[in-house]
Structure 1
Amino acid sequence: MLSRKASKDSHGQDSSYFQGWQEYEKNPYHPIQNPMGIIQMGLAENQLSFDLLESWLRRNSNTMALKKDGVSAFKDLALFQDYHGLPAFKEALVNFMTSMRGNKIKYSSDKLVLTAGATAANEILMFCLTDPGQAFILPTPYYPGFDRDLKWRTGAEIVPMHCSSSNGFRITRCALEQAYQLGQELNLKIKGVLVTNPSNPLGTTMTKTELNHLLDFAIDKNIHIVSDEIYSGTVFDCSSTTGFTSIMEVLNERNNNNYNNIRNHVHMVYSLSKDLGLPGFRVGLIYSNNEKVIAAATKMSSFALVSSQTQFMLSNLLSDAKFIKKYMVENQRRLKRRKDMLVRGLRKAGISCLRSNAGLFCWVDMRHLLSSDSFEAEKELWKRIVCEVGLNISPGSSCHCSQPGWFRICFANISEDALHLAMHRMKVFTSSIFSVRFPIIMMRKKSF
């Protein structure tokens, strides 16, 4: 006999998000060995700048050899390390975050907890901030993995805050109040709001107005805010109206009577998985002004440690400020170029995207391709795209979007050739749909 948690199907593996991955793994695309296979466009992974990182490693071979000043550091790194983390690495991390955010806020290493990726960071915060049966509000659409990461082991619940395409899925005070009321109707104690900024899956950054709505709401309800900012370095449009603003920056601008209370209720999650393209290194963190949260999270981090070897190598990488600055600028340039390629390809297929300025994906509008305005029709379209077109993309329903017909498509984990092939497949597919629905119009077009 297994435990209830082990035997109960509550992991979320039955989501179409994970099902698409399973179909891909059965028939993965390869340009030579399997050119008719499924192209993976459901993976938010940044593979565009490996050459820059590899060139740095070649120039800094001592780091890979685990040497410091020419002397082997292997023994020190191989022995047991305190789960607080290597001081040099934590200092390098806060300096990196400070620089990446334009030095608008100074981060402190004693308010930071290292974790094995952002997944562990978010789960640890749920353990710290909720008891089983209590809930966090999440704006929809949200990352499908949160159903697993936040709920599965902690017993926490999620109350969706439904955002609409009518305002670009922006957060409003009205939507926050409606979600809070829904939680009360479900007899759930709301402990906070969790947001991703930049948004996964929207690829948009939150405005200062939205962030202030969040802070005002948290003050009014006496609840927490968790801001997952793992895509903050992927922002490729940094104009005054669309650039990135951290929740910590807006928090520091406040000087009202509730400041001391709210500053202890705001917590940030970050990782190096997206910005540096290092998800396999499993480096994440929690940043908080709340000393009790930091103390509890540090104890819990013993179940999700970052290896000393990883910390050693990355502390050297992040400390090379000249390289990091060049890397971030070039990586953002490459992301924008690749995103524009996807948008142009989809436009040729008669498909539009939500305007975005960050992330490794686009939020794609395929409502006009649905056979009916329903999630059943969305699932039918999604299955055809996966099985017939050979593209693994994520349907909006897996992200809990309240409107059928939206999809998340990733663009940074495949080659340019694969992206061009994917867009060609989509163009052929949409043409076949239109020719069936509007045969006379299509015939007329062909006559020209």
Structure 2
Amino acid sequence: MVMDVMSAAARLEQAGRHVIHMEVGQPEAPAPAAALAAAREALGGSGAALGYTESLGIPSLRRRIARHYAETHGEEIDPATVLVTTGSSGGFVLAFLALLEPGDRVALSVPAYPPYRHILTALGCEPVLIRTGPETRYALTPEALLAAHRDAPLKAVLIASPANPTGTMMTAEALARLIATAEDAGIAVVSDEIYHGLDYAFPATTALAASRSTVVINSFSKYFCMTGWRVGWMVAPEQLVRPMERLHQNLAISVPTLSQVAAEAAFDGRAEMEAVKAGYARNRDILVKGLPACGIDRFLPVDGAFYLYADVSDFTPDSHAFARALLEEAGVAVTPGLDFDPVAGRHFVRFSYARSEADMVEAVARIGRWLKGMG
């Protein structure tokens, strides 16, 4: 649904309208300068170095990713367990294919990123949607997971912290309890950590701190602002590395070499990325303070990522119609909650604050005028 909003916004822009984009989770900032410089240098040669790489990824990049866990989380990771993927999306496909068989049930909290359930369904698996609430920061609890497991056995559970669309995070203690409960019940754990680095309320914790049996998926798309480069990574249990490697050899051969070269250099751009993150924090404050003044005052804790998920049922019973009217009449593009929750999502919309500070100020002003006009 978010891609439909993007298309509608593009049509308005082609007609000369100015649209503020709050619908897609795409950083406005460019890739780090070090990444761009490395890519230019690679392109400046004969091109021979841009052939296929090992399916698991360029060894030096895998070592650098492993080092990142030591530097950021204090966790020593064997580079042999790191796999470079085509964004986090490629990681999900490889993880699900390696862990699951058709008919397997996989627990997901709701609301959640829609491709989780769509990829699982395409592979013949059954997404088990477990509703969450504000009392748990919209995170899955051990009790809810076990209740779903009693209904019919679960093969895996997918966890995301910080989460899309909610921006909520699990504390280290809550994450550890959930992982321990899942593993005790024989349920495999996949942890989506694509928004790590973008945390405001408290530091994000990797699932690897709780267990080395988890499959961790991450990407250079969000914190490192490299969406279009399509490069991510996984850290997998040792016994899954070879099956995932064989799958990747057949599905993609390898991740684009230029993207891998740039990704390795991106780790040298942390100062730039921290400046971008500080901008997100300012944008977050603008929305947290500005939206309630407009009348939108029911939203989830904004712990991390760059999303705010708000209840708009005071204004409409149909978030899709609300989003369409907001775009057409006020020039602000947001995503209907139905993308993330097929049932309760009709009451919610997601605001992305990954754009400029000026855009956020103008968006709040436009939304306020538009809602006042509705009244």
> Do they superpose with TM above 0.5?
yes
**Match of residue 96 from structure 2:** 126
For residues 159-198 of structure 1, what are the alpha-carbon distances to aligned partners after superposition, in whole Å with 9 as ceiling and x for unaligned? 101102344313222322333345x2xxxx5211001111
Task: Give the whole-Å Cα distance in 1 for the aligned partners of 2:141 and 2:261.
Answer: 43
- Unmatched 5+ residue regions in structure 2? none
The CA deviation at 1:86 is 1.5
SS of corresponding position for 2:264: helix
**Match of residue 409 from structure 1:** 351
Output the amino acid matched with 2:369: V
Task: Give the whole-Å Cα distance in 2 for the aligned partners of 1:181 and 1:157.
Answer: 15
**Count of paired positions:** 371
The residue correspondences of 1:114-263 to structure 2 (distance < 5 A) are: 114-152=84-122, 154-182=123-151, 184=152, 189-237=153-201, 242-251=202-211, 263=212
Aligned partner (choices 361, 386, 398) of residue 307 of structure 2: 361
Task: Establish whether residue 313 from structure 1 lines up as the match of residue 262 from structure 2.
Answer: yes
TM-score, normalized by length of structure 2?
0.90
- Alpha-carbon RMSD across the aligned residues, in angstroms, is 2.5
Aligned partner (choices 243, 246, 251) of residue 299 of structure 1: 246
Task: Establish whether residue 340 from structure 1 lines up as the match of residue 279 from structure 2.
Answer: no
- Alpha-carbon spacing, 1:180–1:275, altered in 2? closer, same or farther (3 Å): same
SS of corresponding position for 1:44: coil
For residues 221-245 of structure 1, what are the alpha-carbon distances to aligned partners after superposition, in whole Å with 9 as ceiling and x for unaligned? 21100000010011134xxxx3211
Higher Cα Rg: structure 1 or 2?
1
The CA deviation at 1:74 is 4.0
Q: Percent identity between the aligned chains?
A: 21
Task: Give the whole-Å Cα distance in 1 for the aligned partners of 2:113 and 2:38.
Answer: 38
Output the amino acid matched with 2:275: E
**Match of residue 41 from structure 2:** 65
Task: Give the whole-Å Cα distance in 2 for the aligned partners of 1:384 and 1:378.
Answer: 10
For residues 204-260 of structure 1, what are the alpha-carbon distances to aligned partners after superposition, in whole Å with 9 as ceiling and x for unaligned? 2211232133223213321100000010011134xxxx3211111122xxxxxxxxx
TM-score, normalized by length of structure 1?
0.76
For residues 22-69 of structure 1, what are the alpha-carbon distances to aligned partners after superposition, in whole Å with 9 as ceiling and x for unaligned? 322322389xx423xx43211101224x3x823x468xx5652228xx
Task: Give the whole-Å Cα distance in 1 for the aligned partners of 2:356 and 2:143.
Answer: 42
Aligned partner (choices 10, 29, 36) of residue 25 of structure 1: 10
Task: Give the whole-Å Cα distance in 2 for the aligned partners of 1:231 and 1:165.
Answer: 20
**Match of residue 220 from structure 2:** 272
